Amino acid sequence: IFFRFCELHINGCLRFWYAMAQYADIAYWDRRYERMPQPFEWYQGYKDLKETLMKFMRPNSRILIEGCGTSTLGEELYDEGSFSDITCVDLSKIAIRLMEERRRSRMGLNYLVMDMEKLEFPPEVFDVVLDKATVDSILCSGDEEKAQKSVGKMLNEAYQVLKKAGVFLLFSHTKEGRMDMLQKDNLKWAVQHVPLPRPENKLTANIDETDPELAQHHLFVCTKY
């Protein structure tokens, strides 16, 4: 019985890590969006994040949302009325097609297929660059060295298109390793960590709410100087 338990446990762990590793594969996301075309939010949606976001985003800011997937964050920011120039990018053509279909008459809200390691924008054009779980997804790759290089390129690209005094907002499920990742010599920005309590609908039965790491999401606010 003991060995059977160990076998089941190991197999469960392998399935979990295999599923996580797929998050770094664009083909996985295309298949997922084909199967599940409805909007999906990682971590927290606009309703939960609005108060926090408004502390760091000035009205009329020009906004770039990286790895938007099928999140409605861009359209909800637009509908708020204070932001009318929002660009959302993703590698998945399926996700961008789905979100283009939802855009309707929102002029100034744009969805583009784009590689976040090679952004196709001039330098210093955005007031805000926002990443909600995209870096986390890349870091799920089974190839840690490749993932770290990809994230480094992404962060450098975000830095380049950000205006001086602009903010890069990184939302993550963890704070482990994130400060070191963001505080590189080529990234001239000040980094502030803001813990975010998980909404009740994002807490699961196996989460220990007394553990601050598990009961929180994490926002890193990087202000370019």
Model confidence pLDDT, tens digit, residues 91-145? 999 999 999 999 989 999 999 999 999 999 999 999 999 999 999 999 988 788 9
Spatial distance between the Cα atoms of 67 and 110, rounded to a whole number of angstroms: 13
**DSSP-derived 3-state class of residue 125:** coil
The whole-model pTM stands at 0.86
Q: What local confidence, expressed as pLDDT, does residue 200 receive?
A: 73
Q: Provide the token pair at 70.
A: 């099928």
Q: What local confidence, expressed as pLDDT, does residue 9 receive?
A: 33
Tell me the per-residue pLDDT of 43-55, one tens digit each, with 9 for 90 and over: 999 999 999 999 9
Q: What local confidence, expressed as pLDDT, does residue 35 receive?
A: 95
Is the Cα torsion angle 215, 90, 22, 72 positive or negative in sign? Answer: positive
pLDDT(1) > 50: no
Closest by CA to 75, choosing from 98, 43, 91, is: 98
**DSSP-derived 3-state class of residue 122:** coil
Q: What local confidence, expressed as pLDDT, does residue 202 receive?
A: 53
Q: What is the dihedral of CA 163, 66, 62, 54, to 10 degrees?
A: -100
